[in-house]
Amino acid sequence: MAWTQVINNARAFSSSTAPGFSRFFSSKSSNPYIVKVGIPEFLNGIGKGVETHVPKLESEIGDFQRLLVTRTLKLKKLGIPCKHRKLILKHTHKYRLGLWRPRTAPVKA
């Protein structure tokens, strides 16, 4: 009997608070992210000197979808330094998970 009261109270609480949270997760808010992402936009979004490898990656890899599945050995063979490889791989993983996207305007440091 006590469990049913706890469950019913939890349901009543969640249904009463759910509408209040919808304003924080609205998809209608202004979106500061790029709609079309390519290799140059992606590397410029990462920053930290990685954008210097744009011509090399565009000529060797080609499109952005292939960059998302590129492994570290391929980047190493292209002559990209370790620190930049780590940044590229970290951000491609976050991009695939939907946790990170490059912004339209670069952040001023």
53-79 pLDDT per residue, tens? 999 999 999 889 999 999 999 999 999
Fold of 39-97: DNA polymerase; domain 1 (1.10.150)
Nearest to 105 by CA among 26, 30, 29: 30
- Supply 106's token pair: 């670069």
Domain boundaries, the chain: 39-97
Nearest to 48 by CA among 19, 80, 26, 11: 80
Segments of the chain scoring below 70 in pLDDT? 1, 6-7, 10-35, 104-109
DSSP 53: G
Q: Is the model's pTM score more than 0.75?
A: no
